[in-house]
Amino acid sequence: MNFARVLILKRLHSAYLSSFLFLSTCLYFSITNNFDLTFNPFCCAGIFMHLQKDNDSPAGLAFAVSAYILWGFLPLYMKLLDHIPALEIVAHRVIWSVPIAGLALLVMGRTSNLRAALSSAQAISMGAVTAALIAVNWGIYVWAISSGHALDAALGYYINPLFSIALGTVFMGERPNKWQIVAIALATSAVIVLTWSAGKLPWVAIGLFMSWGFYALCKKKLPIGPNQGFLLEILILLPFALLVATWYAVRNESHLFTLSFRDGFLLLGCGLVTAVPLMLYANGAKRLRLTTIAILQYIAPTMIFLCAVFVFDEPFGRERMIAFPMIWLALIIYSVSLINQMKKDLA
């Protein structure tokens, strides 16, 4: 990486951290003013509990766009940690998300459902499934960014909403329309192109969209709200995360203020960069129409794609020049069909 690229990367990191601090402050004031966050921020297609026919709220749009931008720039943060094992990073994402998510629920006064869930075997068992899936997703994502596979991560998140349609057909009895079937076929063809050219499956992309898609599917079965569910998941993962962190510490390989203060502060920040975008999204999507969320969800993978090509200088070969436009066309077809369906439903 040449000097000019390093300079650009440092400036982007500074801009990301400054924006993150500003948006975190905005989120704090929104929470303390008791904004309603009771909907599902994890559904891949942006479907939330109460569809509304009113227009988009400017505040809601600002919060949702902010969340997607932070998710899109997250590779810049994770790239700063690319010398740290992905397992250790995921452990600290879990550990430092717990106090942030817990504090948010305390401020909103929504801990009663969580207490009930902790005494329910059904909630604990389903929470364990979703916790395992989100841990796998985080692990693949962190490894992908650290090892120079950010383009594969972008591909996985592009394909994700189309995979959700397939899951809905198989497990929920939903019937996709003909244009959604065309979109799924295009996405499948793009994966075949990448597999044929590389001689192997694009496991990073497949792992990401499958883990996130099944996570969203199982998340719907949790008998508590999404914010309480997120805290339940990371509480289930917490003993394992502490065990991993302890293992690295015993081996004198921990990066939490032992080898570098810089690494220590970055690992502490993993909780913020994990929890804050989710809560920003929660403030925003309640005030937006489904169609708006469906279009906004492509901001993050597009930004990951741009970071991979123009900042991380990952190779964008002929096979990707074929596969990515196929995915983009599939997403256009999917989005148009979704918008038309929403117009019919609201007519």
**Per-residue H/E/C for 193-254:** HHHHHHCCCCHHHHHHHHHHHHHHHHHCCCCCCHHHHHHHHHHHHHHHHHHHHHHHHHCCCC
Contact 264, 273 (CB under 8 A): no
Q: How far is Cα 297 from Cα 24, in angstroms, rounded to an integer? A: 20
Supply the pLDDT for residue 171: 83
Contact 292, 56 (CB under 8 A): yes
Model confidence at 108, in pLDDT bands (50, 70, 90)?
confident
Report the percentage of the chain scoring pLDDT > 90.
32
Residue 303 banded pLDDT, cuts 50, 70, 90: very high
Cα-trace Rg, the chain: 20
User: Sorting pLDDT into bands at 50, 70 and 90, what band is 140?
Assistant: very high
Q: Report whether 329 contacts 200 (CB < 8 A).
A: no
- Residue 20 CA, distance from chain mean position: 16
DSSP 8-class letter at 328: H
pTM of this structure: 0.79
Average pLDDT over residues 50-66: 69
**In this predicted structure, which of 12-21, 173-182, 252-261, 330-339 has the lowest mean pLDDT?**
12-21
The token pair at 138 is 């985080």
Distance (Å, rounded) from C-alpha 41 to C-alpha 39? 6
Average pLDDT over residues 289-297: 70
- At 285 the pLDDT is 66
Predicted confidence (pLDDT) at residue 29 exceeds the cutoff of 60: no
Q: With contact defined as beta carbons under 8 Å apart, do 19 and 69 qualify?
A: yes
Q: How confident is the model at residue 224, as a pLDDT? A: 80
In eight-state DSSP terms, residue 44 is T
Q: pLDDT: is 14 or 209 the higher one? A: 209
Contact (Cβ atoms closer than 8 angstroms) between residue 19 and residue 70: yes
Long-range contact pairs involving 321-324 (C-beta distance under 8 Å, separation at least 24): 322/190, 322/193, 323/155, 323/190, 323/191, 323/193, 323/194, 324/155, 324/158, 324/190
Report the mean per-residue pLDDT for the chain.
80
More confident residue, 9 or 346: 346
Distance CA 259, CA 252 (A): 9
pLDDT higher than 90, residue 145: yes
Q: In this model, does residue 34 exceed pLDDT 50? A: no
- The torsion angles phi and psi of 142, rounded to 5 degrees, stand at -60, -45
Is the Cβ–Cβ distance between 159 and 118 less than 8 Å?
A: no
